[in-house]
Amino acid sequence: MVSFEDLGINEAILRSIKEQNYVEPTFIQEKSIPPILEGKDVIGQSATGSGKTLAFACGIIHSMEKGRGVGALVLTPTRELAEQVSDALKGFSKHKFFKIAAIYGGVSINPQVSLLRIADVVVATPGRLLDHMQRGTINLSKVKIVVLDEADRMVDMGFIDDVNKIVSQCPRNRQTLLFSATMSPDIEKIKNRYMNNPVSIFTRQQVDPLKLSQEYYDVQKELKFSLLVHLLNGEHSGSVIVFCNTRRQVDFLAKNLIKNNLDATAIHGGFSQAKRSNNMGRFQSKRINILVCTDVAARGLDIKDVSHIYNYDIPKESKEYIHRIGRTARAGKEGRVVNLLSDVDHPNFAAIFKAYPSINIREMELPQIKRVQISVSPASRRDGNFRKRGFQKNRSSSNRGAFYQKRRGSR
Ligand code: ADP
Ligand code: MG
């Protein structure tokens, strides 16, 4: 067993790692920390939840000195992630007393300007950082280490030009680290343009499939919400995330879950920053155990102990499915993924099987579902018209189940 001490990490970091009660390094930490400490450029690809933050934190803390201007720059795709990474860095660098600034949009810029004057480490979303660059309120000339966290997501969210502008303004002799849960041709481009002979570390498995049970229900559109309520009521679950494809669907679900006495909150990109933080906080502190969200809002967040992922919509992009399921079964815990499919979801669902041939998702038999009250919403107007409450007879499972079974069987 490799220990943190074997990796060459300095005393101050080792102390804070001990305080976090980490017993041994994760795979990505074990493989990436030594080259990072040698000052090499590193590309690290591994699943969400595999501990990438500590890997680059070691590099930052190792190469930085306090009070010499901004020495490290971390770019993240979302505001929440900027907050989360900056909090993690504060924890890991506790014995070094670095000033760490989280810089993102949606909040007032003035306090950030003062913070940037004294910051040693900046964790930022690309848009707001560019703002500061244009205003001349950040000096990147002392940057020794640049980290692109969730690089795939920054590409997906259209930040590639911003990332290019920012990185090209950093000193040439810097160290560049790139972390991502998935790899793509765009990431190759970043690599070729901005990285110097990088060491690449890949981990094959996105999540531990042994720990992860994946299921699907084939359900009529009109009964989908009732099925969700039925399952949420029946499960003894911890924290649950329900994913939707659109903000509108998130609003619809959150509202109706609450109406049905379920303890739900929501985040999506249409909310103010204050509302997003507040709702996230309530979920993370476990005051509320159901979070309804879009992919963008949830990406990269480290939410501890998520026991169930519900896909109320199946994502259009198959790799988004992998990101979603990476929210559970973290750090060796059990997790369960439940897909609720009605007609519109089948093309996207079939695409997942095509993209990930070894995936294993079991069909579940529909339980007796009690139709629940739904208030009229634009996302699902027809659902609102049911006046009668009562028990719906099981619909026998369609022949699609056979289709997915067969696809699996034929490999
Ligand atoms: P990633 O960036 O790969 O998605 P994070 O860095 O956010 O993963 O880490 C996920 C969780 O695992 C965090 O709660 C972190 O504190 C925890 N963690 C990281 N490294 C270890 C370790 N070596 N042992 C135990 N827990 C760890
Ligand atoms: Mg991460």
Give long-range contacts, CB 8 A cutoff, 24+ apart: 399-405.
Answer: 400/218, 400/346, 401/218, 401/363, 403/350, 404/216, 404/349, 404/350, 404/353, 404/361, 404/363, 405/363
> Is the Cβ atom of 44 under 6 angstroms away from ligand 1?
no
Does 51 contact ligand 1 (Cβ within 6 A)?
yes
Token pair, residue 263, equals 């303890």
CA dihedral 33, 38, 177, 143 (to 10 degrees): 130
Say which ligand is closest to the CA of 25. Answer: 1
User: Does residue 371 line the site of ligand 1, with CB under 6 A?
Assistant: no
Identify residue 392 by its one-letter amino acid code.
Q
Whether 255 shows a pLDDT value over 50: the answer reads yes
Separation between Cα atoms, residue 102 and residue 115, nearest integer Å: 9
CA of 264 to the centre of ligand 1 (A): 26
Position 391 confidence tier, pLDDT thresholds 50, 70, 90: very low
For residue 388, pLDDT over 50 is answered with: no
Nearest CA to ligand 1 atom 21: 51
Instruction: Find the DSSP H helices in 171-245.
Output: 185-194, 221-234
CA of 124 to the centre of ligand 1 (A): 20
pLDDT of 258 strictly over 70: yes
Q: What is the mean pLDDT of the chain?
A: 86
| Cα-Cα end-to-end distance for the chain | 36
26 lines ligand 1 (CB under 6 A): yes
What is the residue with the minimal CA distance to atom 9 of ligand 1?
51
Categorize the per-residue pLDDT at 40 as very low, low, confident or very high, splitting at 50, 70 and 90: very high
Positions of E strands within 70-205: 72-75, 100-103, 121-124, 145-148, 175-180, 199-202
d(CA 275, CA 282): 11
Give 174 Cα–ligand 1 centroid separation in angstroms: 26
pLDDT at 143 over 70: yes
pLDDT band at 403 (very low <50, low <70, confident <90, very high): low
| CB 27 near ligand 1, within 6 Å | no
Dist CA 113 CA 345 (whole Å): 46
Ion ligand 2: protein residues whose beta carbon lies under 5 Å: 52
| Cα 205 to averaged position of ligand 1 atoms, centre (Å) | 16
Protein residue whose Cα sits closest to atom 17 of ligand 1: 51
Pairwise CA distance, residues 359 & 318, whole Å? 12
Does residue 302 register a pLDDT over 70? no
Q: Residue ranges of the domains in the chain? A: 4-202, 209-410
Give CA 273 to chain center in angstroms.
17
Taking 70 as the threshold, does the pLDDT of residue 19 lie above it? yes
**Residues 34, 58: contact at Cβ < 8 Å?**
no
Residue 207 Cβ inside 6 Å of ligand 1? The answer reads: no
In the 8-state DSSP scheme, what is residue 106? S
Residue with CA closest to ligand 1 atom 11:
49
- Pocket of ligand 1 contains residue 22 by CB under 6 Å: yes
Mean pLDDT of 257-267: 93
Q: How many CA atoms lie within 13 A of 150 on its CB side?
A: 29
Can you tell me the mean pLDDT for 50-63? 92
Q: Do domains 4-202 and 209-410 have the same CATH topology?
A: yes
Tally the C-alpha atoms within 13 A of residue 205's C-alpha that lie toward its C-beta.
12
State mean pLDDT over 239-263. Answer: 94
CATH 2.120.10.30 corresponds to the domain 4-202:
no
Is residue 331 in contact with ligand 1, taking CB distance under 6 Å? yes
Ligand 1 atom nearest the C-alpha of 48 is 4
Q: Is the dihedral of CA 279, 281, 287, 292 positive or negative?
A: positive
Cα of 17 from ligand 1 centre, angstroms: 11
How would CATH label the architecture of 209-410?
A: 3-Layer(aba) Sandwich (3.40)
What is the percentage of the chain residues whose pLDDT exceeds 70?
86
Judge if the beta carbon of residue 206 lies within 6 A of ligand 1.
no
Of 28, 20, 25, residue with least CA distance to 6: 25
Amino acid identity for residue 314 in this structure: I
For 270-293, write each residue's pLDDT tens digit.
Answer: 988 889 889 988 998 888 999 999
Q: Which whole number is the average pLDDT over 38-62?
A: 91
The confidence band for 98, taking pLDDT boundaries of 50, 70 and 90, is: very high
Q: Are 95 and 12 in contact (CB under 8 A)?
A: yes
**149-159 confidence digits (pLDDT tens):** 999 889 988 99
CA of 198 to the centre of ligand 1 (A): 23
- 396 Cα: distance to centroid of ligand 2 (angstroms): 42
Assign 202 a pLDDT band (cuts: 50, 70, 90): confident
pLDDT of residue 383: 38
Ligand 1 centroid, distance to 50 Cα (angstroms): 5
What does the alpha-carbon distance between residue 283 and residue 342 come to, in Å, rounded to a whole number? Answer: 28
Instruction: Tally DSSP H helices, then E strands, for the chain.
Output: 16, 16
Q: In what order do the strands lie in the sheet with 175-180?
A: 100-103, 121-124, 72-75, 145-148, 175-180, 42-45, 199-202
Give the per-residue pLDDT at 387. Answer: 34
Q: Is the CB of 48 under 6 A from ligand 1?
A: yes
Res. 324 pLDDT band, cuts 50 70 90: confident
pLDDT higher than 90, residue 330: no
